[in-house]
Structures are given as structure tokens and as C-alpha cells.
Amino acid sequence: MNADDSNPLQFAQLRNRLLEWQQELHAEQPAEIGDPVEFLEKLLGPTVCRRLGIYRLPAGFLLSVVIPVFNEVDTIEEVIRRVRACGIRSELILVDDGSTDGTRAVLEKYRGQPDLVLLMHETNQGKGAALKTGFARARGDVVMIQDADLEYDPGEYSKLIQPIIENQADVVFGSRFIGDSHRVLYFWHSAGNKLLTLLSNLLTNLNLSDIETCYKVFRREVIERVGPTLEERRFGIEPELTAKVARIPGIRIYERPISYSGRTYAQGKKIGWRDGLRALWCILKY
């Protein structure tokens, strides 16, 4: 298999299976296996391991995962489980944005757990407001956004943070449009996303393929600089974040392909055409 030609999403799946296999071997023969990254580098070679997203994290590395939550009672516990299973030492920062469907009662069960920060908005303020609250509490070396539904897969975190760990990037966007696995849903949503991305690129001089993606990953220093300036309270946060990051002198931005399992409106999808109009205004404003 040629590592440079294979599909990145297949690499992510293979990486996860290799790590699971290594853990099984380590449980049976811990002395023989030793360091898991060193073991896999010897087995597969450093180049293949790097392509698979198998690499050594800095000592003490912490990933902050900011999760805005609004009326996600059916999915939030599975999202928490998947983030905790990502294989990276993480703190989960959950910001409940005035849920009324029982989500709050579910989240209260997690209060006080050492890897989890639970914050509450008494009334619904919007995704942007929830993110700003969560960013202010992030303490990790790298900070990223995770939606509270099941549209995005935490199993892809390792590939998303890799350019930052290897000092190639300061910000990484996960793109739904350069990957190969996505649920086929609404044409006009896709067309609208591409139009907004094109307009944003015209004004920021970037060549991104997906500014409306949930997966935006930042060095903590970047989000500490940008976070306090954020103004948008709803979905306008996506073009605002993109524009403000783009204005930082010398900023290095990467994209990585991600899978996407979109929801229908019947399943709880919240963004609508009014949010698209607001995003257009935000592109012009910021």
C-alpha cells in the first residue's frame, strides 16, 4: 500500500484499529510491546505512522474540546463517550445554552467529573455565545469545537491536531468537501455553504473549502487572542472566526478532510436560511 496515495479517511480508520490492536497486545504482553508509538513505528515505519496520524504527543499535552449544547438529549451522552474515547488526553467543556428538552438533567449527572467542565446559560443565547463562554474556560494546549449532535466524528481528532503538533499550522479546519464520506442530504445547504466560503475567501484571501465546518482547531494562543473579541451570538460565529483568524499576521491555516453524517430537520438540525443570510452579512462585516 502506498501511504501517499491512500484515502485519508481510510487511514484514520486503519489507525484506530491498529491502536486498538496494540492495546490488546499490550494487555497480554506489556513488557514486549513497551511504548505503543515506538512499537508501531518499528512495525510499519515512521513515514506510514505519520501518514496514519500515529505520532507522539508532547509530554503533558491537553486538548480542550468546547461543546455547545442546545436540546440534544438524544445524542449528548454518546458525544461525551466518543470524545473520551478519542485516545487523546482531553478536557470536555460543555456549555448548555438554555436547553428545555431534558438535556440539562442528563448533563448534571456529569458535574464534578475531573475531565469535564459544565457551564450553563439560563436562556438560549446561540452557538456563538456558547462558544465564547467555553473558550474563556479552555486550558488546553490546543482548543477545538465539537457539536453536540453526531454529525462529526471525534475519532478524527488525531489527524486534525497533527499539523499543530508538528508545528506546521496554528489553525486547522476540517473540511467536509475534500473528504469522501458524507451523508447525502440538502443540495441548497451545500450550495449555500460553497457560496459563503467563496465570498469569505474573496475577502480574506484564503483558499478554504468549508468555512461553515464545525471542526475548527486552534493553538490556545490563537483562541486567547480571538475569543474575547467575538461578537456573533448565533451561527454567524463561523464566518466571524474565519475572518478574525485570517487577519492575524503570519497565521498558518491548514485543512484536513473529515467525514460528515448530517442530520435532517426532523432529526434536530437547527441552522436555516435566516442563518445563511446572517452569515453573508458577517462575511461583509468582519
Domain locations in the chain as residue ranges: 8-52, 63-191+209-228+251-271
For the chain, how big is the Rg over CA atoms in Å?
A: 19
CA pair distance 130, 125, nearest whole angstrom: 7
* Cβ atoms of residues 109 and 197 within 8 Å: no
pLDDT of residue 283: 75
Backbone angles phi, psi at 9, to 5 degrees: -75, -35
Backbone angles phi, psi at 237, to 5 degrees: -60, -30
- Report DSSP state, residue 182: B
pLDDT of residue 1: 42
Measured torsion, CA atoms of residues 194, 155, 15, 173, in degrees rounded to the nearest 10: 30
pLDDT tens for each residue of the chain, 286 residues long: 444 444 555 556 666 666 666 556 555 555 555 677 787 778 788 888 787 778 889 999 999 999 999 999 999 999 999 999 998 999 999 999 999 999 999 999 999 999 999 999 999 999 999 999 999 999 999 999 999 999 999 999 999 999 999 999 999 999 988 866 555 555 666 677 788 888 888 888 888 988 889 999 999 999 999 999 999 998 789 999 999 999 999 999 999 999 887 644 454 445 655 766 776 777 777 7
Task: Output the CA–CA distances (angstroms, integers) from residue 125 to 17, 129, 147, 275, 283, in the order listed.
Answer: 40, 6, 16, 14, 21
CA pair distance 112, 264, nearest whole angstrom: 34
Q: Residue 23, Cβ neighbours under 10 Å: how many?
A: 13
* Cβ atoms of residues 61 and 157 within 8 Å: no
pTM: predicted TM-score of the whole model, two decimal places: 0.81
CA pair distance 280, 194, nearest whole angstrom: 12
What homologous superfamily is domain 63-191+209-228+251-271 in, according to CATH? Spore Coat Polysaccharide Biosynthesis Protein SpsA; Chain A (3.90.550.10)
Which amino acid, one-letter code, is at 93? Answer: I
